[in-house]
Each structure stands twice: as C-alpha cells, then as structure tokens.
C-alpha cells in the first residue's frame, strides 16, 4: 500500500470514528438536556408559568433578534447582558430582599450585617439549587419566597422590554429600542422563557451537585463555581496541545524536505488556461463579494457605535428604523455570506480550469445561482427587519423572519432556499470536475479531495435544518455548531487547502506527489481536532459532562494544524519568489501568508485562550470571545477568500495591469486595521471584563454598571482609528476590482515586474 493510499484509509477511518462519537454525543445531549416543564407551580399549587408560556416566550425572544440582543447561556451579543445570568442574580437578590424585609424590616439584604448576609447566601443556595422537577407530571414546584422574587424580576423585565420611562436609561445602555416587545402578553411570556434558562443554570442535575449548565454562569451568590472536571480537562487540553505540536514538528522534520519542483517553468502555466463562458460569468460573484464586504463594514461601524450612544447615531434616532439587534444580525451574517460567496465563485471558476471541460448549460447554471444568492440575501434580510420591528407576527417568524441563532439567523424558508442553492453549486462544480477525476493523472487525489470537500460543503449545511421551532435549546446549539464550526471552519478549509495545492502544482512550483501527500496529511490533521473540537462550543449549553472531556481534548488539537499552516507560509513565500513570472501572483500569495499569521494569532493564540473549559467558564460571551471571532473569521477565512478571489481575477483579466500600489494599500490597511481593533479595544476590554467576572461574577462583567464606565467608552472610541484604516483597505480593494473592468490599463500578460511588498 503506497503512502497516498495509506493516507486515504487513515482519513476515512478518522472521519468515520469522529462522526460516530459526535453523533453519540448528540444522542446523549438529546437525552440529558434540561427538561421543559408542563407547568410551574407555587406552594399552594397556584400556576406561575406553563410550558406554553415558556415556548411562546422563546418565540418572542427569537423574533426580537434572539442571540443578537444580549445572550442566553453565553452565546450572543455583547452589549446587553446575558439574560440567563442577569435573571439568576436578580432573582437570588430578590429572594434575600424578601427575607430582609420580613425578618429585619429593611428593604434590601445589602443593609444587613456581613454575618447575616453570609447566612442568607447559604439559605438562598439551599433554596434555589435543589431540583424540584417532577418527571412524571412535568411539574416544577417553587417556594413562596421564590415565587415573590420571580414576580419582582418579571416586573423589571416587562418594564425593560416595553416603553416604561423608569427603565429608559437601562434600555439605552443595552442598545435596545423602545417597545422592543410592544405586546404586554408577549412581554409576560418572554419573562417565562428567561426564567427557565436561569432555572437550568442554577438547578442541579438529578443525582449530581452540578447544574444543567455545568455551574455556568460564575456567580458565588448562588453557588455557581467551576466544576472539578473543568480544572482537570483544562490541564489535559494543554498536554494534548503540547503533544500534538511536538508530533507535528517531528513529522514535518522527517517528511518534508525541499518541496519546490527542481525544474521551474519559464512562463506562467496558468496563462494558457482557456477562460470558458461559465468561468467569465463568475466575475459577478466577486462584484457581489465586494458589495457585501463594504456593507458589512458599514453595519459593523453602526453596531460598534451603538455601544456608545445606545439608541442613536450622532443625535439621529437610528434605533427606531435600524435597531442594534438588526445591525448586528446583518453584520455577522454578511461576514459569512461574502466569504462564502468568494469561495463559491472560486469553485465555479476552478472546476472548468482543472478539467478543461465546459459542461452544457454551465454558464446558465452559474448565472441562475448568482440570482438565487441575491434573492436569498434580500429576502432573508427583509424578513429579519420585519421580525425585529415586530411587524411579522410570531406564527410566521420561524419560517420567514429571524430565528435568533447567531450566524444561522435566516428564516427556515431561506435556509431551505440556500440549501437548494448549495446543491446547485455542488452540481455545477461536480460536473465540471468529473472529467478530471475520471481521466486520472498525478493530481487525481487532490482533485478527488477537492470534489469531496465540495460535496461536504453542499450537504453539511443540512445540519442547519435539523431543528424545529420548539426543539430543545441544547439540541439547537448542537446542530447550529455543526454549521458554524464544521461547515465553515472544517470543510471550507479543506476545500481551500485542496484548491491552493492544485494551483501550486499547476503552476509547476510543487511536485504533484509531494503536494498530494501534504494536502491529505493536512486534511487529516484538520479533521483530527476539527470534528470533535466542535464540542468546545457546547460546554455550558445544558449538555452532559462528557462534552467537556471530549471538547477540551480535541479542541486543543485544533491548534495543531494552525502550526502546520505556519510552516507552510514560509514555503508559500519562497514560491512567490521562485521565478520572475510568479510576481503576477504576489498579492494572492501575500494574502495566503496573512492567513497563516492570523491562523496562528487569531485562531491559535486567541482561540486557545478561550477554548479550555476553565477559561471559557469565565470568558464565554466577553469581548475576549469577540477578539477571537474577529481575528479568526476575517483574519483567516476573509483573507483566504480575498486571496482566492485574486487568483480568479488574475485569470479573468490576464491582459490588465494590476495596480500594485492599491493592492499594497489594501493588504496592509486590512491587516493593520484588524490588529488595531483587536489590540486597542477588543482585547483590553475583554481583559477588564474577565477581571470583573473573576471578582464579582459573570453577571457583573456584562452589566450596565460595568459596561457604562468611562474606561469602556474610551476603549470603544479607540476603535475609530483602526476601523478607519481597515475601511481604507476595503475601499482600496473595491477600487482595484472596479478598475479591472472600468478603464483598465492593458499590458502584456507577462509584463509584470517584481514589486516590493
């Protein structure tokens, strides 16, 4: 059995075993997720909430933006509080206030002596942590004092989500528009849902002293502290990381020598590729990429500014027409959409380029898919505006409005439309690649891997269709991260690695055999940690304790391939200087080098900072998460999308002189701007929040009291220079693409001279 065949067998075995374990974990999550009660009763069997109240409250929460306005169990927006943590702390304090008024005649327990407060704290834990859920009848029974506390907190929330002047200042601090939920009955039911999420966060699992959310959020008032497992598996995750990188370094030293082909072509081999009609039709995809990218940046600026002014933009009441929940929804969705569009366009371009075959009606299919993408974006965004503005109605929200799940907020109808569109993309790419697979050749394994990653991209989005409107939150989170982690971070990355390997072999810079082994090995390394690494997103979402063990172990291995990419960056740089005509591809390669840098920093350093269980216990949903999100999503996948797009544009416009100064400006402005927003705002703000969470509890780190401090305002304003530089980079890229078609300067395809980076 040769090396290539062994790697294919190893990859297949790894994927079968990993997905078997992941599916088993899913069955355990389904079995052990926090129960949804049929009724919540007081001490005299008076009805507090029904299951219908909680389910309808969840629908209301989704319709107003869900995770885009604050968060639940740590997943979501950063300006408003985590509602589970906020409710839980308020309820515990309200219970102790009831006791203080009855037993000491004061209106707040905080006015009592320290020893009395300590005894109250022990009492409140004894009251709230025991599990009073009766499985047979589906009933939760509550103490009279707790019922009174729930009523007090519910009154605060119904005021906050309405238009009560008493909470106007708090609404502004949370960047909530007035009358976020106009109907009083919907506000009442929303409080039922928020209460249930906090109940799961403080209630111990049957036969355990650990809550359904593994004692998250951190709040000593109710006895929520990190579990023993969080400590143990954090240590193991560090050991797995060290061992993985050591093994990778040994493998690389033993198996990687000089990979550049000994005899380099004297001219650009890609210049001889005939650009087919369907390949030319992909140009419009890259125009859309630029439009979506610029729109995303604009919405990001508005979203960040809401953290300063709350409901306005320089005096204009913007929240009345474009509230924070909506700008953040569109900002996060556009990030995925423009990056995915760049990669989809690349797939449609590269298929005929690889095989030299233009299937019948291929151009029609490319144009039809482009129209479908536009319809999906416009239709889904219109539905989300109607939903957040409360004009759509709860009965239509799930299908056509806002699902409320960060990164997969599209209504179910639009999800199905996108899935069908991805099926069309899979068909178009597959039929153009098939002749190359059938004809074999040295590059067959790379082309097969490219085809299989295309199949996975087309089919694995179906994970976003696996939950229903009333599926348990734990199971929704399980399937949602299949889309966000496996679909975006897993199979798209394999697709990109295969494309880059094929390009370098076709350019004659890499030996095909060496590249084939390298790309298969890289895929094995990616998937080894990537599949089960999905579980690190699920530590505190009502999942069993096995999730922490598996997630911590394998998410540590996710950092290993990032070190591998770092090794490859040097080879990419050398290939960029290997022969004079490679200067034509200097900027695509520079963006690939940037991918390697941000892989190490954004995905690796900042990712591992928050991924171990003990770290994430305190950092989930703080700006340290945003630091990782921005530097990994744009730094890795965005830069990679731009690099792939530039490769396609070089083929689409071979006779046009590239404006090297504009591309240089774009490259450095994007990288400097991204570095600045992380270094001067997101990272220091996240560190301040972490310090607050460790000292006072998670609820305080997300509270208006903390987030409205002058130092926080200063850090937010410090984003302006970096954001401005970043925007200059995006505009420069847009100008470069625009000039390729409008009044371009035409020169011979081989005339490009070496330029400095």
Q: How many CB atoms lie within 10 A of CB 652?
A: 17
Rounded percentage of the chain residues whose pLDDT exceeds 70 = 93
- Neighbouring C-beta atoms of residue 470, cutoff 10 Å: 13
Q: What are phi and psi of 176, to 5 degrees?
A: -100, 140
**Per-residue tokens: 684:** 């220091």
Cα separation of the two ends of the chain: 44
- What's the pLDDT band for 575 if we cut at 50, 70, 90? low
Task: Of 44-58, 373-387, 499-513, 600-614, give the lowest mean pLDDT range.
Answer: 499-513
* Contact (CB, 8 A) for 81 and 622: no
Q: What residue ranges do the domains of the chain occupy? A: 33-225
The DSSP symbol for 622 reads S
Contacts (Cβ under 8 Å, ≥6 apart) of 601:
631, 635
| Residue 140 to residue 202: CA distance in whole angstroms | 14
pLDDT in tens, 347-357: 999 999 888 88
Query: What's the average model confidence in pLDDT over 386-399?
Result: 95
Percent of the chain predicted with pLDDT > 90: 68
Angle at 422 between CA 416 and CA 425, to 5 degrees: 150
Mean pLDDT of 383-389: 97
pLDDT at 495: 78
Residues 645-662, mean pLDDT to the nearest whole number: 91
pLDDT of the residue at 146: 97
Long-range contacts of range 687-692, CB-CB < 8 Å, 24 or more positions apart? 687/624, 688/712, 688/715, 689/622, 689/623, 689/624, 690/618, 690/619, 690/622, 690/624
How crowded is residue 580: how many other Cβ atoms within 10 Å of its Cβ? Answer: 14
- Asked whether the predicted pLDDT for residue 536 surpasses 60, the reply is yes
Phi and psi at residue 133, to the nearest 5°: -75, 130
Cis omega (within 30 of 0) for bond into 217: yes
Q: What is the pLDDT of residues 3-19, one digit of tens each?
A: 788 888 998 999 999 99
Distance, CA of 333 to CA of 295 (rounded, Å): 11
To which H or E segment does residue 40 belong?
strand 39-41
d(CA 91, CA 24): 36
Each residue's pLDDT tens digit, 228-282 = 999 999 998 888 888 877 777 776 677 655 555 556 677 777 777 889 999 999 9
pLDDT of residue 43: 94
Name the helix (H) or strand (E) containing 49. strand 47-50
- The tokens for 716 are 């937010």
Q: Which segments of 33-81 does DSSP mark as H helices, in order?
A: 51-63
DSSP for residue 600: I
C-alpha count within 13 angstroms, C-beta hemisphere, residue 215:
26
Q: Who contacts 397 (Cβ-Cβ below 8 Å, separation ≥6)?
A: 59, 62, 63, 387, 411
- The string of pLDDT tens digits covering residues 270-327 is 777 889 999 999 999 999 999 999 999 999 999 998 988 888 877 788 889 999 999 9
d(CA 112, CA 121): 12
Q: What is the pLDDT of residue 315?
A: 77
Q: What is the 3-state secondary structure (H, E, C) of 257-289?
A: CCCECCCCCCCCHHHHCCCCHHHHHCHHHHHHH
Give the angle 343-349-355 at the CA atoms, nearest 5°. 125
Task: pLDDT band for 757, please (50, 70, 90 cuts).
Answer: very low
- Least confident among 115-124, 213-222, 648-657, 679-688: 648-657
Which has the higher per-residue pLDDT, 723 or 589?
A: 723
pLDDT grade, residue 756 (50/70/90)? very low
Reported confidence tier of residue 750, pLDDT bands at 50, 70, 90: very low
In this predicted structure, what is the pLDDT of residue 513? Answer: 78
Helix (H) or strand (E) holding 187: helix 184-202
Instruction: Name the token pair of 137.
Output: 């009848």
- Nearest CA to 237 out of 609, 662, 585 is that of 609
Local confidence band at 670 (pLDDT 50, 70, 90 cut-offs): very high
Cβ atoms < 10 Å from Cβ of 323: 25
> Is there a contact between 710 and 646 (Cβ–Cβ < 8 Å)?
no
pLDDT at 143 over 60: yes
Compute the residue count for the chain: 757
Q: What is the mean pLDDT of residues 393-422?
A: 95
Question: pLDDT (tens digit, 9 = 90+) per residue, 416-435?
Answer: 999 999 999 999 999 999 99
In 10 A of CB 375, how many CB atoms? 13
Under the banding of pLDDT at 50, 70 and 90, the label for residue 377 is very high
pLDDT exceeds 70 at position 748: no
Contacts of 328 (CB under 8 A, 6+ apart): 65, 68, 69, 77, 299, 303
More confident site: 582 or 345: 345
What is the Cα–Cα distance from 478 to 547, expressed in whole angstroms?
11
Residue 572: pLDDT band with limits 50, 70, 90 = low
- Checking if the pLDDT of 25 tops 80, the result is yes
| Angle at alpha carbon of residue 583, lines to 579 and 584, rounded to 5° | 120
């Amino acid at each position: 059995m040769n090396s290539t065949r062994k790697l294919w067998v190893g990859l297949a075995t790894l994927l079968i075993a990993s997905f078997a374990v992941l599916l088993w974990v899913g069955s355990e999550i389904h079995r052990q997720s926090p129960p949804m009660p049929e009724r919540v009763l007081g001490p005299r069997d008076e009805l507090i909430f029904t299951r219908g109240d909680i389910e309808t409250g969840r629908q209301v929460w989704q319709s107003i933006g869900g995770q885009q306005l604050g968060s639940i169990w740590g997943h979501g927006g950063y300006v408003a509080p985590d509602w589970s943590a906020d409710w839980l702390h308020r309820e515990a304090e309200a219970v102790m206030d009831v006791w203080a008024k009855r037993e000491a005649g004061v209106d707040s327990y905080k006015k009592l002596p320290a020893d009395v407060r300590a005894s109250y704290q022990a009492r409140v834990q004894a009251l709230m942590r025991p599990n009073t859920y009766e499985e047979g009848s589906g009933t939760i029974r509550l103490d009279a004092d707790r019922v009174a506390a729930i009523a007090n907190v519910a009154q605060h929330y119904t005021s906050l989500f309405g238009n009560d002047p008493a909470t106007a200042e708090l609404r502004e601090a949370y960047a909530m528009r007035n009358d976020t939920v106009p109907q009083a009955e919907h506000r009442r039911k929303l409080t039922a849902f928020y209460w249930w999420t906090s109940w799961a966060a403080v209630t111990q699992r049957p036969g355990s002293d650990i809550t359904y959310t593994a004692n998250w959020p951190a709040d000593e008032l109710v006895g929520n502290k990190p579990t023993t497992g969080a400590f143990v598996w954090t240590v193991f995750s560090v050991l797995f990381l060290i061992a993985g990188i050591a093994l990778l370094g040994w493998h690389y030293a033993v198996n990687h020598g000089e990979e550049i082909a000994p005899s380099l072509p004297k001219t650009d081999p890609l210049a001889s590729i005939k650009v087919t009609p369907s390949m030319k039709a992909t140009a419009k995809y890259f125009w859309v990429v630029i439009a979506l990218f610029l729109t995303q940046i604009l919405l990001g600026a508005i979203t960040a500014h809401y953290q300063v002014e709350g409901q306005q933009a320089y005096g204009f009441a913007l929240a009345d027409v474009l509230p924070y929940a909506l700008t953040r929804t569109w900002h996060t969705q556009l990030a995925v959409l423009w990056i995915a569009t760049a990669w989809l366009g690349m797939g449609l371009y590269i298929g005929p380029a690889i095989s030299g075959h233009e299937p019948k009606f291929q151009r029609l299919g490319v144009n039809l898919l482009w129209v479908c993408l536009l319809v999906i974006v416009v239709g889904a965004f219109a539905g989300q505006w109607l939903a957040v503005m409360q004009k759509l109605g709860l009965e239509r929200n799930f299908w056509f409005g806002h699902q409320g799940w960060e990164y997969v907020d599209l209504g179910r109808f639009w999800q199905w439309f996108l899935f069908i569109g991805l099926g069309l993309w899979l068909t178009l790419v597959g039929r153009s690649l098939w002749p190359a697979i059938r004809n074999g050749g040295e590059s067959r394994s790379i082309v097969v891997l490219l085809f299989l990653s295309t199949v996975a991209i087309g089919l694995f989005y179906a994970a976003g269709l696996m939950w229903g409107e009333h599926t348990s939150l734990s199971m929704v989170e399980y399937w949602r991260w299949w889309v966000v982690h496996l679909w975006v971070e897993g199979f798209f990355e394999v697709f990109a690695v295969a494309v880059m390997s094929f390009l370098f072999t076709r350019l004659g810079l890499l030996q095909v055999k060496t590249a084939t082994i390298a790309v298969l090995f890289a895929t094995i390394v990616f998937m080894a940690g990537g599949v089960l690494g999905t579980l690190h997103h699920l530590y505190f979402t009502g999942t069993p304790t096995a999730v922490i063990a598996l997630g911590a172990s394998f998410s540590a291995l996710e950092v290993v391939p990032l070190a591998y990419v770092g090794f490859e960056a040097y080879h990419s740089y050398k290939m960029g200087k290997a022969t004079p005509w490679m200067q034509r591809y200097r900027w695509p390669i520079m963006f690939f080098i940037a991918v390697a840098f941000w892989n190490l920093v954004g995905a690796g350093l900042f990712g591992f900072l928050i991924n171990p269980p003990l770290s994430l216990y305190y950092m989930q949903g703080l700006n340290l998460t945003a630091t990782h999100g921005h530097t990994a999503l744009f730094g890795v996948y965005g830069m990679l999308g731009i690099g792939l797009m530039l490769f396609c544009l070089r083929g689409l416009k071979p006779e046009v002189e590239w404006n090297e100064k504009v591309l240089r400006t774009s490259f450095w402005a994007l990288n400097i701007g991204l570095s600045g927003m992380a270094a001067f705002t997101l990272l220091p703000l996240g560190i301040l929040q972490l310090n607050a969470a460790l000292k006072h509890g998670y609820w305080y780190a997300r509270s208006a009291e903390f987030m409205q401090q002058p130092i926080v305002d200063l850090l937010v304003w410090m984003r302006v220079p970096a954001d401005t530089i970043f925007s200059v980079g995006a505009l420069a890229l847009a100008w470069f693409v625009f000039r390729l078609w409008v009044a371009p300067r035409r020169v011979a395809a081989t005339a490009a001279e070496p330029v400095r980076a």
